[in-house]
């Protein structure tokens, strides 16, 4: 389960919106929330020597960051939760990755943007860099997403997590972790499995054949999950498993349609979270440019739970 939870912060209220989610997970697992802030060394460029770090300014910034994290640890959203704080010096993405790997973090929970502006972080942003290079799962939330309201609801409401599958074992790696996440944050969790069949450039007969193959695969996989419960990894026996086949022009678009409940077909459902592995049938290399997972990260409105296979 998720017992060592890392929450990167940048001093903004946007980044702090993930705290209730991290707290809920820590409460269920009797875990610890580690609050981290990275301080980027201020510097100036001097023609004679090049880049020069300004230690005096850094000496002021580090204590301020420590004070900030200590104040966050006392917030009501973290009441009753074990917390730790750490200030690290370096580029935020690199610092988060290093801290996660060094501490064997079970989960990183972070906002998709903070001080960087009103718009979602662009390609090459901190959230995307972290998601590419850490070995631990990453839950990326967006400002004012529906999941934050679900977490705050009393009693705990049902949360549905979409898990896109492509028939590969790499993609299936996300299922167990997604089941753990659903159990932790929802009283009546549900995993909704989908397989996207591309309609682009295929004949009707070929599409029908692919649809039937997808239905058989999802039905078989769902039955296997139901008969081999994941209780040994902390998954509730009451977790529901549902499935539907999605037809779309391309896989990434189909995943987002399924998540939003706008997929073609009578079984279309909406989901609060999308859970994916960082690689699937597309190849062995993680996060190739333009990969399905990366496109979903850039465009989806729902939080994205990324698991590395």
Q: What integer best gives the mean pLDDT of the chain?
A: 80
Do 190 and 248 fall within a single domain?
yes
| Total number of domains in the chain | 2
Residues 72 and 122 in one domain: yes
**Per residue, what are the HEC states of the chain?**
CCCEEEEEECCCHHHHCCHHHHHHHHHHHCCEEEEEEEECCCEEEECCCEEEECHHHHHHHHHHHHHHHHHHHCCHHHCCCEEEEEEEECCHHHHHHHHHHHCCCCEEEEECCCCCCCCCCCCCCHHHHHHHHCCCCEEEECCCCHHHHHHHCCCCCCCEEEEECCCCHHHHHHHHHHHHHHHHHCCCCEEEEEEEEECCCCCHHHHHHHHHHHHHHHHHHHHHHHHCCCHHHCCCCCCEEEEEEEEECCHHHHHHHHHHCCCCCCCCCECCEEEEECCCCCCCCCCCCCCHHHHHHHHCCCCEEEECC
Q: Is the pLDDT of residue 262 over 60?
A: no
Instruction: Please state the rounded mean pLDDT for residues 109-114.
Output: 77
Residue 251 counted as domain residue: yes
Residues 106 and 182 in one domain: no
Same domain? 10 vs 92: yes
| 148 in any annotated domain | no
- Tell whether 37 and 119 lie within a shared domain: yes
Asked, for residue 179, whether it belongs to a domain, the answer is yes
185 and 276 belong to one structural domain: yes
User: Are 261 and 296 members of one domain?
Assistant: yes
Of 141, 166, 193, the last residue of a domain is 141
- The predicted pLDDT at position 126 comes to 86
In this prediction, residue 108 has a pLDDT band, given cuts at 50, 70 and 90, of very high
Q: Identify the domain boundary among 117, 141, 165.
A: 141
Domain assignment of residue 49, given as a range: 4-141
In this structure, are 131 and 175 located in the same domain? Answer: no
**Do 18 and 134 belong together in one domain?**
yes
Confidence of residue 58 (pLDDT cuts 50, 70, 90): low
150: in domain: no
pTM: 0.85
pLDDT score, position 44: 47
Q: Which of 81-85, 91-95, 230-234 has the highest average model confidence (pLDDT)?
A: 81-85
| CATH (domain of 130) | 3.40.50.620
Together in a domain, 199 and 296: yes
* Same domain membership, residue 302 and residue 169: yes
The answer as to whether 23 is a domain residue is: yes
Identify whether 147 is part of a domain: no
Same structural domain, 164 and 264? yes
Last residue of a domain, one of 141, 176, 203: 141
Percent of the chain predicted with pLDDT > 70: 76
Q: Is residue 75 part of a domain?
A: yes
Let me know if residue 146 belongs to a domain. Answer: no
Q: Answer whether residue 280 shows pLDDT above 50.
A: no
């Amino acid at each position: 389960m998720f017992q060592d939870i890392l929450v990167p912060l940048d001093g903004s209220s946007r980044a702090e919106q993930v705290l209730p989610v991290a707290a809920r997970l820590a409460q269920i697992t009797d875990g610890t929330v580690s609050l981290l802030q990275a301080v980027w060394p201020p510097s100036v460029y001097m023609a004679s020597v090049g880049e020069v770090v300004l230690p005096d300014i850094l000496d002021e910034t580090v204590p301020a960051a420590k004070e900030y994290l200590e104040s966050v640890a006392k917030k009501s959203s973290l009441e009753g939760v074990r917390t730790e704080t750490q200030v690290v010096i370096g580029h935020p993405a690199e610092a988060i990755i290093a801290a996660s790997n060094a501490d064997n973090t079970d989960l990183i929970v972070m906002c998709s943007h903070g001080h960087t502006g009103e718009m979602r972080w662009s390609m090459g942003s901190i959230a995307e860099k972290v998601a590419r290079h850490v070995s631990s799962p990453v839950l990326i939330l967006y400002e004012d997403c529906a999941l934050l309201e679900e977490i705050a609801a009393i009693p705990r409401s049902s949360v549905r997590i979409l898990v896109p599958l492509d028939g590969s074992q790499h993609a299936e790696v996300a299922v167990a972790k997604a089941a753990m996440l659903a159990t932790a944050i929802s009283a009546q969790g549900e995993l909704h499995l989908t397989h996207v069949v591309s309609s682009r450039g295929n004949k009707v007969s070929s599409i029908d054949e692919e649809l039937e193959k997808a239905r058989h695969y999802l039905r078989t996989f769902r039955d296997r999950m139901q008969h081999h419960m994941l209780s040994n990894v902390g998954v509730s026996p009451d977790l529901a498993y549902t499935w539907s086949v999605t037809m779309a022009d391309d896989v990434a678009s189909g995943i987002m349609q399924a998540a939003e409940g706008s997929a073609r077909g009578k079984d279309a459902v909406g989901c609060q979270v999308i859970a994916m592995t960082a690689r699937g049938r597309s190849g062995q290399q993680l996060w190739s440019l333009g990969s399905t997972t990366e496109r979903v990260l850039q465009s989806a409105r729902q939080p994205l739970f990324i698991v590395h296979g």
